Amino acid sequence: MNDKFGRTIDYLRLSVTDLCNYRCAYCMAADGVPKRSHGDILSIEELAGIGSAAVRCGVRKIRLTGGEPLVRRGILTLCERLRALDGLEELTITTNGSLLGTMAADLKAAGVGRLNVSLDTLRPERFRAITRRGELRDALDGLEAAKAAGFTRTKLNVVLMGGVNDDEIADFVGLTRAEDLSVRFIELMPMGVCAAFPRERFLSAGAVLAAVPELTPVGGDGVAELYRAPGHRGTVGLIRPLTRCFCASCDRIRVTADGRLKPCLHSNAEIPLRGLHGAALEDAIRGAAYAKPERHRLIQNQHSDTTRNMFEIGG
């Protein structure tokens, strides 16, 4: 699929639920997700149908996200169905890692190729404060279980927050010493609940290079600029939506758990997909991809145009 600016769109981020077992302070309100009725959220059948239509349109990579995708009932069935699609090259999941301890082996068996695990701190107290209900131990056990299940090249996503976790940059880089991990520092994006955070929370990912000056560039991986510390096995990635616009190489579309296709993370434009099947569904997906905006306005406006929170979109 191409958009009207000539970009190839071959990556779908599919949100399988807006529910989550955490309440990360930058993503969700303390009282969680507004209750929706079961029928408001795409069924496993509908999710598989949208994935299948997207692959027929030219999508080669699907990432399952949420909310927390591993709390979604039927997630393994969905993975198996997507993995069986002719033409899909990669199926990945973004997770907070809390349930990987019990699910990693099943996810591997269901065809998930790689994992992104979100982890913003290595300190138990801080972990509780950021997630409002999580335990660091669960995430660390989850990472171990993923390794034991045979997952390699796992990506660790760290959202950088000035005054919250920027004193842990060197500790996170240290994790890449012996492990084949990619630790990726992501700039906090002012959207949803965190749009009202104080200015100092929105730190440039350049802070990573200032904290660990021995990092040397080793190329790129999608939207991440990659670095390596001398002698380290893994890599360090910087993802800088706030300070470096990477829209020119954007290759993705997103579908929310309630079945709306978002051509751009930071736009309010949404195309309803529910109720569409066959050629009508494919036309809607192709049309939405074609109409992707050229770029977001996050940098000049310092806030996102979307009124959605991240847990509703999937990141």
Enumerate binding residues for ligand SAM (CB under 6 A).
Answer: 20, 26-27, 65-66, 68, 94-96, 118, 157, 159, 186, 188-189, 191, 194, 310-311, 314-315
Residue in the structure block whose two tokens are 């303390």:
30
State which residue has the least CB distance to ligand SAM: 315
2 to 61, contacts with ligand SF4 by CB under 6 A? 20, 22-24, 27-28
Nearer to ligand SAM (CB atom), residue 20 or residue 285:
20
* Least distance to ligand SAM, CB of residue 47, Å: 15
Query: Tokens for 73?
Result: 């009932």
Subset of residues 113 to 132 that bind ligand SF4, contact rule: CB under 6 A: 118
Which CA distances in Å does 135 have to 116, 131, 140, 154, 183?
Answer: 18, 8, 9, 20, 20
Decide whether 64 or 215 has the Cβ nearer to ligand SAM: 64
Euclidean distance between CA atoms 229 and 222, whole angstroms: 20
**Shortest approach of ligand SF4 to residue 116 CB, angstroms?**
11
Structure tokens given for 104: 């990693």
Give the pair of three-digit tokens for residue 93: 């999941």
Please identify, using beta-carbon distances, which residue of 101 and 314 lies nearer to ligand SAM: 314
- The site partner of 62 among ligand SAM, ligand SF4, none (C-beta below 5 to 8 Å per kind) is none
For residue 56, the minimal CB distance to ligand SAM (Å) is 26
Q: Which does 28 bind (CB under 5 to 8 A by kind): ligand SF4, ligand SAM, none?
A: ligand SF4
Residue whose C-alpha is closest to residue 234's, from 213, 222, 218, 250: 218
Closest distance to ligand SF4 from the beta carbon of 162 (Å): 18
User: Residues near 269 by Cβ (< 8 Å), separated by ≥ 6?
Assistant: 262, 263, 291, 293
Round to whole Å and give the CA distance between 18 and 194.
17
Least distance in Å: CB of 21 to ligand SAM? 9
Provide the pairing of β-strand 235-239 with 224-228.
Answer: antiparallel
Nearest to 65 by CA among 13, 120, 10: 13
- Give start and end residues of each alpha helix (H) in 120-259: 124-131, 136-148, 169-174, 206-211
Of the pair 14, 24, the CB lying nearest ligand SF4 is at: 24
CA distance 54 to 48: 10
By a kind-dependent CB cut-off of 5 to 8 A, residue 23 interacts, out of ligand SF4, ligand SAM, none, with: ligand SF4
> Closest CB to ligand SF4 among 15 and 235?
15
The type of residue at 24 is: C
Phi first, then psi, for residue 294 (nearest 5°) are -65, -40
User: What is the three-class DSSP state of 46?
Assistant: helix
Nearest distance from residue 8's CB to ligand SF4, in Å?
A: 28
User: Minimum Å distance from CB 23 to ligand SF4?
Assistant: 6
Q: Does 66 bind ligand SF4 (CB under 6 A)?
A: yes
Provide the binding-site residues for ligand SF4, judged by CB under 6 A: 20, 22-24, 27-28, 66-68, 96, 118, 310-311
